[in-house]
Structure 1
Amino acid sequence: MRAARCTQYGPPNRLEVVELDDPAPGPGEVLVRVHAAAVNFPDVLLVSNRYQVPAPLPFTPGSEFAGVVTALGPGVTGPPVGSPVAGAVMTGAFAQQVVVPVTGLRPVPDGLDMIHAAAFHVTYATAYHSLVTVGQAVEGEWAAVLGAAGGVGSAAVDIATRLGMRVVAAASSQERLTVARKLGAEAGVDYVHEDLKTRVRALTGGEGAHLVVDPVGGDHAEAALRALRRSGRFVTVGYADGKIPRIPLNLVLLKDAVVRGFEIRMLRQYAPDAVAAGDRALARMVRDGMRPLVSRVHPLAEVASALTDVAERRTTGKVVIDLTAGA
């Protein structure tokens, strides 16, 4: 099979597309023929060895995929061979085949093709649980979403709007804010050229946001925290800016704010009931017409440039690798 391969840590242009032996599923595992795999920012971090958990060399990057079950390992009774599935792994998705624990698979929601199915679950589940399970979203509240045209950010704008929240999108350009407005954001802040705290407070009637979802981090995190109203909630989701913020705790004290973190793998481990409830809610939204924003689709041969575009934040929504193109 063809697969992207990281043999030395560094920028994405060091990735190679190579031929590997076909894998076989072991006990509790399923073999999936991958049709499409989405690019996520942690993939970039893993390739450069900057992720919280390192991936030993050599490895195939890629964490989110959709495809068809082709074989079941010992002890696995389903899903049946031929079933369309989506799944998540730490590494391995940028390949024509992937072996994954059966617990890491879920059915493709009705209405999604393979490209959109690959782009859906990780970002939309992250956005949903950041808003609802952790952020305790309430209809009619103001939610400020940073990185609002990126993968998690665009999903958060989409879901928050569908939950009846009023969304202030924060992004790095007017072009990216236009993307967020099309997803339902009521207002926008260009945090490169505008003061984030001042603008969010002004746009929310002077009191500030009830909830902030921040997948960006860096210098914008403190400004977003300052943009909360009293007793507001701040959810830190990731650090696409590349810098982990250092928050002065006196701000938390003075605002009586709640600051929480969200990491989807931990939720699956410690709150399976919340994960199941989120999957049901997201499936209903898909049936109602919700679709992930996919801005670019690349063949596997262009995997390095796809990761580079994500690393340099030149994309909106999700970037997807089509594993059937040129196969």
Structure 2
Amino acid sequence: MEALVCTKLGDPTLPLTDQSSPVVFTSSHPIPPLTSSTSVRVRVVATSLNYANYLQILGKYQEKPPLPFVPGSDYSGVVDAVGDSVNLFKVGDRVCSFGSLGSFAGFIVADQKDLFLVPDGCDLVAAGAMPVAFGTSHVALVHRAHLKAGQVLLILGAAGGVGVSAIQIGKVCGAVVIAVARGTEKLQFLKSMGVDHIVDSGKESIIDSVKSFLKTRKLRGVDVLYDPVGGKLTKESMKVLNWGAQILVIGFASGEVPVIPANIALVKNWTVHGLYWGSHKIHQPHVLNDSLNQLLQWLSKGLISVNISHSYPLSKANLAFAALKDRKVLGKVMLVTGASPKSKL
């Protein structure tokens, strides 16, 4: 089968034919066997490229698997084979799921309890883009911050995969959504999503822009900060937070871990949530299950949608990583296999 194999740590944007590339594309990787009576083998149709995948190959992610390994986390596909005790799925079912490794390949094996049936009417590629990005935002905003209608939600890095998902979930919850991004193309894209206010971080002050908007709407401040960026943007954003605000620490795309002063958090009664989505699978798997089932229902009803910014075959994965690294992504980057991206298999 086709697979992308990480053989050493390094920059995955290098051409796959370059000997310096840390990843190798092969069309003869062994097809994984069923590992238990409840395991299911899925023929992968699409798999999502997340910033964490990029960091993992660089060797800069908190989880460092032994080499060599097949990267990849969330995916969608069609059930290819089932174990003797599988009673939740059958061959031909459309499913999606996520794992710590292994989805950048033609086939992947998972236990039936870790798979989710994709509802009729849902695009299979869209379903494969959902678990990590939309799951992160849903757990953060719904399960942790308990975002309510009328609250003000400020999203940094709003044009990226998790940012776009946070916008949509925020709108479903009835929040007033402020989106921060830079660049004409990204700003136009955010306008098309119907956010309430957009800040161009490359040209204007977050503090001044947000305060002006809040004054116009007669709002007191930001109730929830969704932060996958870190760095100076976090520092600026703290100036517009309300008393009792909640800060969701999602990641550090800027490369700089921000400092949140404990004395100010005390005076302002802020709550700081660290959100490492993947660890819920160990500590609170029911939260991830409930979250993803809710998201798939929203997707089937048209309450949310997935914007696929870039799509590449596994053999051109370096281009997908480059799009992510160069911040050219508006939504999600996907790797697709030989099956049609629009397949309703």
TM-score (norm 2): 0.89
Matches within 5 A, 1:157-306: 157-205=167-215, 207-289=220-302, 290-306=304-320
Tell me how far 1:68 sits from its aligned partner: 0.9
Alignment size in residue pairs: 326
RMSD: 1.8
Q: Which runs of 4+ in 1 moved over 4 A?
A: none
Determine the structure 1 residue equivalent to 2:133: 123
Paired with 2:112 and 2:293, the residues of 1 have a C-alpha distance of: 19
Determine the structure 2 residue equivalent to 1:22: 31
Query: What SS does the corresponding residue of 2:243 show, helix, strand or coil?
Result: strand
Tell me how far 1:218 sits from its aligned partner: 2.3
Deviations, residues 246-294 of structure 1 (Å, cap 9, x unaligned): 2222221232111111122233333344334433432332233121111
Q: Is the 8 A contact 1:36 1:324 kept in 2?
A: no
Q: Does 1:313 align with 2:323?
A: no
Q: Is the 8 A contact 2:122 2:300 kept in 1?
A: no
TM-score (norm 1): 0.94
Paired with 2:53 and 2:124, the residues of 1 have a C-alpha distance of: 20
The alpha-carbon distance between structure 1 residues 236 and 9, as it changes in their structure 2 partners (threshold 3 A), is same
Q: Does 1:35 align with 2:35?
A: no
Determine the structure 1 residue equivalent to 2:9: 9
Q: Is the 8 A contact 2:224 2:245 kept in 1?
A: yes
Paired with 1:47 and 1:274, the residues of 2 have a C-alpha distance of: 28
Paired with 2:91 and 2:339, the residues of 1 have a C-alpha distance of: 22
The alpha-carbon distance between structure 1 residues 74 and 197, as it changes in their structure 2 partners (threshold 3 A), is farther
Paired with 1:74 and 1:46, the residues of 2 have a C-alpha distance of: 35
Mean alpha-carbon deviation: is it higher for 266-275 or for 138-147?
A: 266-275
Paired with 1:254 and 1:190, the residues of 2 have a C-alpha distance of: 30
Paired with 1:266 and 1:207, the residues of 2 have a C-alpha distance of: 34
Q: Is the 8 A contact 2:310 2:334 kept in 1?
A: yes
Paired with 1:136 and 1:174, the residues of 2 have a C-alpha distance of: 32
* Matched residue type, 2:329: T
Q: Is the 8 A contact 1:86 1:118 kept in 2?
A: yes
Query: What SS does the corresponding residue of 1:10 show, helix, strand or coil?
Result: coil
Deviations, residues 203-234 of structure 1 (Å, cap 9, x unaligned): 22263211111111222122222321111111
Paired with 1:199 and 1:45, the residues of 2 have a C-alpha distance of: 32
1:142 to 143, 152, 157: 152
* Matched residue type, 2:62: Q
Mean alpha-carbon deviation: is it higher for 159-168 or for 102-111?
A: 102-111
Matches within 5 A, 1:45-60: 45-60=55-70
Q: Is the 8 A contact 1:235 1:261 kept in 2?
A: yes
Paired with 2:148 and 2:229, the residues of 1 have a C-alpha distance of: 23
Q: Is the 8 A contact 2:127 2:296 kept in 1?
A: no
Determine the structure 1 residue equivalent to 2:107: 97
Unaligned runs of 5+ in 2: 15-20, 341-345
Q: Is the 8 A contact 2:42 2:79 kept in 1?
A: yes
